[in-house]
Amino acid sequence: MLSRRVAQLEPSATLTITAKAKELKAKGVDIVGFGAGEPDFDTPDFVKEACTKALMEGKTKYAPSAGIPELREALAEKLYRENGVEYKPSEIVVSAGAKMVLFLIFMSILNDGDEVLLLSPYWVTYPEQIKLLGGVPIEVPLKEEEGFSPTAELVAEYITDKTKAIVLNSPNNPTGAVYSQEELKRIAELCLERGIFLISDECYEAFVYEDKFVSPASFSKEVRDITFTVNAFSKTYSMTGWRVGYVACPEKYAKVIANLNSQTVSNVTTFAQYGALEALRNPEAKEYVSRMKTEFQRRRDRAYELLLTIPEVKVFKPKGAFYIFPDFSFYAEKLGSDLKLTQFLLEEGKVACVPGSAFGAQGYLRLSYATSMNNIEKGIERIRETLEKLA
Ligand code: PLP
């Protein structure tokens, strides 16, 4: 009785393992969790205070669908100041996290059978959203030896008459790769030549440890005009539960997305938007983000160093985000799959990791280092000891 679209929706492979980890934790078992896709820092007090103030002042009613004007203005300033791209507030739409923003973009541009290029490994949600909307996700496999970074030549091989868009996510979830700026430019040129939209998911912008973050929309006016720049407050300000994300794009597309927003979520929680506004305006915000980044970098270095001590595991050193994505194929093959390996590590080692197959990369494991240094040291040691049983 359900729709065909919903029937083909894949259940999240990561859920099984997370649910099992939660069940064990509830029973009092000491589990080290590497599954979290969110910073372990608290939302800054100044953000919470601005939200509470708005709430107490009665900012509790419907707001404009595209977002409160002050927030869209502050976002236009941020995009100009930090990303070097000029957007008018009317070219910005605020929706319920980057996830909903992406869904609305796909809904705006896809017809049945349209193809969307996904650089693999990719974030789990992209293919599911694309399929739900009648599109066809096309995987473009990236090589670890090339730093999980794409080249224009590789992307060109996968373009067909049906290609509508490419999704870029740098810094990347799950690999932590930061794509080469030069290649990004060449890919953007290729998109221009072939009439393909560029969707740039910049959620991890704040966490780049080597290289420099760059927004493709800043390359040229022409590239800006085919780009959807997607971002959120979720990771940068540790506001995952607030559900505030946004897209910046030419006004003709922004209008459609705002319309879709008005017919689906109506608007992002009004007082939450005032909290987000404070995150952009408060002078302490820079220091808050910079402290978090320094801590993540320290943890990345330690996690990398410790993972290297596990025999038969290949470790790619991430350049950004807060994930590390080592190749555990040697052990995954012994057990049959990476999902089986995560189950084994959970049951035998009391460590929760996410299988790489959820991101299109069988044999890998994703570990989030958005957890304490103590957990990182304890958890990786547990992995090492547990895998000794398989060696
Ligand atoms: N894009 C990527 C690459 C992500 O990793 C995530 C969250 O894990 C999101 C988007 C979703 O962000 P939000 O919580 O703002 O919806």
**Against a cut of 0.90, is the pTM above it?**
yes
Assess whether the previous peptide bond of 250 is cis (omega < 30° from 0).
Answer: no
Segment (H or E) for 365: strand 365-368
Q: Which residues contact 165 (CB under 8 A, 6 or more apart)?
A: 109, 114, 116, 117, 196, 197, 198, 199
At 22 the pLDDT is 86
pLDDT of residue 164: 98
Question: Which pLDDT score, from 0 to 100, does residue 8 have?
Answer: 80
Q: What is the helix (H) or strand (E) element at residue 15, kind and residue range?
A: helix 13-26
> Does the pLDDT value for residue 50 go beyond 80?
yes
* Average pLDDT for 270-275: 98
Which pairing describes strands 115-120 and 136-141: parallel, antiparallel, or unpaired?
parallel
* Rounded Cα gap, residues 37 and 291, in angstroms: 19
* pLDDT confidence band for 124 (50 / 70 / 90): very high
For range 297-307, the mean pLDDT = 98
CATH domain 61-281 topology: Aspartate Aminotransferase; domain 2 (3.40.640)
- How far is the centre of ligand 1, averaged over its atoms, from the C-alpha of 335 (Å)? 31
Each domain of the chain, given as residue ranges in start order, spans 4-42+286-388, 61-281
Q: What is the 134 CA–ligand 1 centroid distance (Å)?
A: 21
Which contiguous run of DSSP H or E holds residue 377?
A: helix 373-388
Shortest-distance Cα residue to atom 8 of ligand 1: 37
- Digit-coded pLDDT (tens) for 314-361: 999 999 999 999 999 999 999 999 999 999 999 999 999 999 999 999
Distance CA 159, CA 165 (A): 10
In this structure, are residues 65 and 267 in contact, taking their beta carbons and an 8 Å threshold?
A: yes
What's the rounded mean pLDDT across residues 193-197?
Answer: 98
Longest dimension (CA), the chain: 62
% of the chain surpassing 90 pLDDT: 91
What contacts 15, CB < 8 A, 6 or more positions away?
A: none
Distances (CA, A) of 271 to 57, 137, 158: 9, 36, 44
- Please give, one letter per residue, the 3-state secondary structure of 253-296: HHHHHHHHHHHHCCCCCHHHHHHHHHHHHCCCHHHHHHHHHHHH
Sign of CA dihedral 20, 23, 29, 34: positive
What phi, psi does 8 have (nearest 5°)? Answer: -95, 5
Contact (Cβ atoms closer than 8 angstroms) between residue 118 and residue 286: no
Q: Is the CB of 97 under 6 A from ligand 1?
A: yes
Q: Regarding the domain delimited by 4-42+286-388, which CATH topology (the fold level of the hierarchy) does it fall under? A: Aspartate Aminotransferase, domain 1 (3.90.1150)
Summarised one tens digit per residue, pLDDT across range 16-30 is 777 888 899 899 999
pLDDT, position 289: 97
Q: Are 245 and 98 within 8 A, CB to CB?
A: yes
Q: Quick check: do 4-42+286-388 and 61-281 share a fold?
A: no
Where residue 287 falls among pLDDT bands split at 50, 70, 90?
very high
For the Cβ of 173 lying below 6 angstroms from any atom of ligand 1, the answer is yes
**Pairing, β 351-352 against β 32-33:** parallel
Determine the Cα angle at 187 with ends 129 and 88, to 5°. Answer: 70
Whether 238 shows a pLDDT value over 80: the answer reads: yes
Flag the least confident range among 35-44, 188-197, 310-319: 35-44
Residue from 15, 94, 123, 359 whose mutation best tests the ligand 1 pocket (most atoms within 8 A of CB):
123
Question: What is the CA(114)–ligand 1 centre distance, in A?
Answer: 23
HEC letters along 172-231: CCCCCCCCCHHHHHHHHHHHHHHCCEEEEECCCCCCECCCCCCCHHHCCHHHHCCEEEEE
| 43, 95, 99: residue to mutate for ligand 1 pocket, most atoms within 8 A of CB | 99
pLDDT at 6 over 90: no
Close Cβ partners of 68 (under 8 Å, ≥ 6 residues apart): 94, 270, 273, 274, 277
Cis peptide before 174 (omega within 30 of 0): yes
